[in-house]
Amino acid sequence: MNPERLARIRQMLALRQPDLTVCMEEVNKSHNLAALIRTCDAVGIPEVHAVWPRRMRMHTHAAKGSHYWVKVERHETIHEAVGQLRQQGMQILATHLSERAVDFRDIDYTRPTAILFGAEKHGISAEALALADQDIIIPMVGMAQSLNVSVAGALILYEAQRQRQLVGRYAQSCQLPRVEQDRLLFERGYPVLARVCRMKHLPYPAIADDGSLLADDTWWQQMQLSKAAWQARQQDAAFGDEDVIS
pLDDT at position 8 is: 87
What is the predicted pLDDT for the residue at 53?
59
pLDDT at 144 over 50: yes
More confident residue, 118 or 204: 204
Band of the pLDDT at 61, cuts 50, 70, 90?
Answer: very low
Binding residues for S-adenosyl-L-methionine are 95, 138, 147
How do strand 206-207 and strand 213-214 relate by DSSP bridges?
antiparallel
What per-residue confidence (pLDDT) applies to 245? 42
Interatomic CA distance for residues 121 and 115, integer angstroms: 18
194 burial via Cβ count (<10 Å: 0-12, 13-18, 19+): middle
Q: Annotated binding site, which residues?
A: 95, 138, 147
pTM of the full structure = 0.81
CB-neighbour burial class of residue 218 (10 A; exposed 0-12, middle 13-18, buried 19+): exposed
Distances (CA, A) of 82 to 3, 104, 110, 127: 40, 20, 19, 11
Superfamily of domain 17-171 in CATH is SPOUT methyltransferase, trefoil knot domain (3.40.1280.10)
Domain spans in the chain, listed from the N-terminal domain onward:
17-171, 178-245
pLDDT reported for residue 123? 81
Poorest-confidence range of 6-20, 55-69, 101-115, 127-141? 55-69
At 158-206, the pLDDT tens digits run: 999 999 999 999 988 788 888 888 888 898 889 999 999 998 889 999 8
- pLDDT at position 243 is 46
Pairing outcome for strands 113-117 and 206-207 = unpaired
